[in-house]
Chain A
Amino acid sequence: DSGVTQTPKHLITATGQRVTLRCSPRSGDLSVYWYQQSLDQGLQFLIQYYNGEERAKGNILERFSAQQFPDLHSELNLSSLELGDSALYFCASSVAPYNEQFFGPGTRLTVL
């Protein structure tokens, strides 16, 4: 158990819909990262927050957005969903940027 929690574990929705994925970092970790892993693909970095502020942005689509709240939990919002958005979405946290990251168990999103 990494100490990072993600909800929900599974999510099935239809094209065009909007979903919110939630992540609670390890106690004491200020940095939160979001990754997407599509079938047979590596981990694609989406976005990073540090203490509530966006710090780095990767290959995140404009239809996707995220935020980190004062209690340090983070949400990833995916809108206008397409079939290709079906993937595992991982959240990770670290004490500070440039430290090893601890990953949550992931949310499996299926878009039908």
Chain B
Amino acid sequence: DQQVKQNSPSLSVQEGRISILNCDYTNSMFDYFLWYKKYPAEGPTFLISISSIKDKNEDGRFTVFLNKSAKHLSLHIVPSQPGDSAVYFCAASNNNNDMRFGAGTRLTVKP
């Protein structure tokens, strides 16, 4: 079941510009959302999270926005750097801790 969807399999941006990765979810019981970054041949690494009581969380160049009414969240990376090139997974969880991941978006940042 696709409770968490990342509809863009890939995204390419120029170095220094903004990268916007999108994620939609269907289960209104989800109340904790996370973004993970994955390089080839490595496990995913936690990037940033947001709980449903907030609509924005910022950590350096990374900001996650949550729109609960639209069941949509997005990750903004500003400015984008070539080292940000990776696959980004959106994940959602509820108090049962049944965490669901999206299919991922491959970000390529061109120098």
Interface residues of A (CB under 8 A from B): 2, 4, 31, 33, 35, 41-45, 48, 55-56, 58, 90, 92, 97-98, 100-106
20 A-B pairs with C-beta separation under 8 A: A33-B99, A35-B101, A41-B103, A42-B4, A42-B101, A42-B102, A42-B103, A43-B91, A43-B104, A45-B98, A55-B97, A56-B98, A92-B43, A101-B46, A102-B45, A102-B46, A103-B43, A103-B45, A105-B41, A105-B43
Bound: A71/B98 CA distance, A: 23
| Chain B residues with CB below 8 A from A43, complex form | 44, 89, 91, 101, 104
User: In this assembly, does B93 line the interface, its C-beta being within 8 Å of a C-beta of chain A?
Assistant: yes
Closest 4 CB pairs of A and B: A103-B43, A42-B103, A97-B97, A43-B101
Within the complex, the shortest CB–CB distance from B87 to chain A, in Å, comes to 9
Within the complex, the shortest CB–CB distance from A58 to chain B, in Å, comes to 7
Within the complex, the shortest CB–CB distance from B84 to chain A, in Å, comes to 18
- Contact status of A42 and B97, CB under 8 A, knowing A100-B34, A100-B46: no
Bound: A97/B95 CA distance, A: 8
User: In this assembly, does B76 line the interface, its C-beta being within 8 Å of a C-beta of chain A?
Assistant: no
B32, B43, B100: which contacts A98 (Cβ < 8 A)?
B32
| Chain B residues with CB below 8 A from A104, complex form | 43
